[in-house]
Structure 1
Amino acid sequence: MAISPAPVIYLVEPFGGSVRRQNVNMPHVFWDDAVVTRGDGVFESILIRDGKPVNLDKHLDRFVRSAALMDLPEPGREYWVRATEEAVADYCRERGGEEGVEAKCVWTLSRGRETTGVPTAWLSVRPIPEEVYRQRERGVSVLTTSRGYTVTGKASWMRESAKTLNYAATMAALRWAKSEGADDVIYVDETGRVLEGATSSVIMVKKGGRLRTPAPGPGVMAGTTQAALFELASSEGWKCKAKDIYHGELLKAESVWLVSSTRIATRVKRLDGTKLPAPDNESEIRELIYRAVN
């Protein structure tokens, strides 16, 4: 069965070999690949705007860091950049040009086949889901929840700072939120400290031109969109800080946002059933975040 609209898929040789386009209707992952049997691998999701990858260097840095944390081979930066450029060029050409083209590019690096021990690597470029566009415009209703384990007491071998393919718990949390009438979740720890969204960084806007985000560390992955936002905002006079944030602070903030690569930004309009009114500077904040990713 043909996939519509068809994504563009490129295979990347993990040890610096060729990059080549893959027929989307032909299989390329074997039955004993660790990505299938164990979810053992890492990934990155990158926004494509007007035919160009956004925050490419930041994604490359995190991809390399994730691979190292998971004891995977170091991804050859030049090969992933070349594969991305070729895949995006194909995608745009098949849609009539770069102008106005927005898409999602996902890099995947798996530990590979058990029978060979050779990693498997590929990337895809595909349309952004309509739900993402709706959430950008309308905002989201969010529930807070724990991760299901004690963040401060996790074992030293856990690799939360790696962006891994083991997303079963994340998807379960999102399904739970939807079953409760919400759109997304924000994780908090046992003390009520805010961690991150299921697939996003949390941004809190406070009076006096202040932007706050939970400090990266146990339970909080450093976000590429958040980093780009703070770089731009700081240069324009905003007071930006990564620090501990607690649940009650979100309810008192001017506004709360979830930011991520493909969704860019969505305002939290309801938190645990409490309506968060739209702030007077909502359009200013939204425009600031969009300029940061551009």
Structure 2
Amino acid sequence: MELRAPIIYVVEPYGGSVRRHNPTLPLVYWDDAAVTRGDGIFETLLVRDGKVINLQRHLDRFRSSAHLLELPDPGNAQWAQATKEAVAEWSEHSESDATCVWTYTRGRESTGIPSAWLTLRGVNQKVLEQRRDGVKVMTAPRGYSITTTLPGVGKAEAKPAPWLTVGAKTLNYAANMAALRYARSKGLDDVIYLDPDSERILEGATSTVITVRKGKKLRTPYAAGDILPGTTQAAVFRYAETKGWRCKAKDMPVERLLDAESVWLVSSVRVATRVTAVDGVELPAPDNEDEIRKLINRALAAES
């Protein structure tokens, strides 16, 4: 029997206990920074065949995100334990893929103690359809610029602006969600962001872009200060290189979306969905589509 209600575990901060939470009861307080400021971080993980995929990469990025936001170190042990318990409970009822989300906030204003919990539930049907059928995308600038140097600092002494958290997976996803709603209002499925000045490919609204090129080449945009490093992309590249693929992160103009053998959006739960059209230009299915799907799925299996 499939579970309808999510599985929720509270993770006490500072290496405390892990406890099951009743999903019918409230959890977040009115003055929690997640509610009032969107101030916190999250990670989304795939659970497949009773195993967590890419666990160590998610733990590493989670801790990196916390560091960038000057949150207390979330640690590894209690998150791994809570996830293990939630996955075991899920596996008693279902063999289907599941979505596990870790959430870690700055906590209540009245206490200053961080809030932390995870949820685990089945993969959304829309996500399953996109895995199978692919997505039509539009390209667009983010709508805002990211400056990676402090104003007034000379080029010789230029340093990253310390308040920028592009490399962190923060809860502040309102702009990304708005971009997706806009795309859907136009009959499309997703958005690929471009640098407004150079039209360099950045990333999807909630995914990493990978292009497949002739000669067994995989390419992804170089993850500088304006792109979140992708855990799925990293796993794919690591595995693909062992199978003779030449993998490289590099700056790519928008034209690389149109002259590639195929274009893929990869993320933890959606795994890989092929881009079937860009700005109204159809991208035909390549002859090696099945090979690429198998490559990506085997890469993730190798990380479980």
Q: Which residue of 1 aligns with 2:139?
A: 144
Say if 1:195 and 1:220, in contact at 8 Å, map to a contact too: yes
Alignment of 1:66-105 (within 5 A): 66-93=65-92, 95=93, 100-105=95-100
C-alpha distance after superposition, 1:144-180 (max 9, x if no partner): 0101122356761211000000010000000000011
The yes-or-no answer on 1:238 pairing with 2:245 is: yes
In the superposition, the TM-score normalised over structure 1's length comes to 0.96
Give the distance between the partners of 2:279 and 2:148, measured in 1 at CA: 26
Alignment of 1:209-248 (within 5 A): 209-248=216-255
Alignment of 1:254-265 (within 5 A): 254-265=261-272
- 1:162 counterpart SS class: coil
- 1:112 counterpart SS class: coil
Say if 1:144 and 1:186, in contact at 8 Å, map to a contact too: yes
Q: Which residue of 2 aligns with 1:29?
A: 28
Query: Which AA in structure 2 matches 1:289?
Result: I
Give the distance between the partners of 2:25 and 2:91, measured in 1 at CA: 22
C-alpha distance after superposition, 1:199-254 (max 9, x if no partner): 10000000111000001112211101000000010011100000001101110110
C-alpha distance after superposition, 1:90-122 (max 9, x if no partner): 1222x15xxx33100000000000000000000
Query: Which AA in structure 1 matches 2:175?
Result: A
Alignment of 1:3-82 (within 5 A): 5-82=4-81
**Which runs of no fewer than 5 residues in structure 1 stay unpaired?**
none
Q: Which residue of 2 aligns with 1:186?
A: 192
Q: Quick one: percent identity of the two aligned structures?
A: 58
Closer, same or farther: CA 154–160 of 1 in aligned 2, 3 Å = farther
Say if 1:11 and 1:19, in contact at 8 Å, map to a contact too: yes
In the superposition, the TM-score normalised over structure 2's length comes to 0.93
Give the distance between the partners of 1:223 and 1:233, measured in 2 at CA: 15
Say if 2:148 and 2:225, in contact at 8 Å, map to a contact too: no
Give the distance between the partners of 1:33 and 1:152, measured in 2 at CA: 29
- Choose the corresponding residue for 2:214, options 196, 204, 207: 207
Closer, same or farther: CA 205–152 of 1 in aligned 2, 3 Å = farther
- 1:253 counterpart SS class: coil
Instruction: Spell out structure 1 runs of 4+ moving beyond 6 A.
Output: none
Q: Which residue of 1 aligns with 2:156?
A: none
Shift of 1:7: 0.6
Q: Which residue of 2 aligns with 1:108?
A: 103
Give the distance between the partners of 1:152 and 1:30, measured in 2 at CA: 34
Closer, same or farther: CA 281–152 of 1 in aligned 2, 3 Å = farther
Give the distance between the partners of 1:229 and 1:16, measured in 2 at CA: 32
- 1:46 counterpart SS class: strand
Q: Which residue of 2 aligns with 1:287?
A: 294
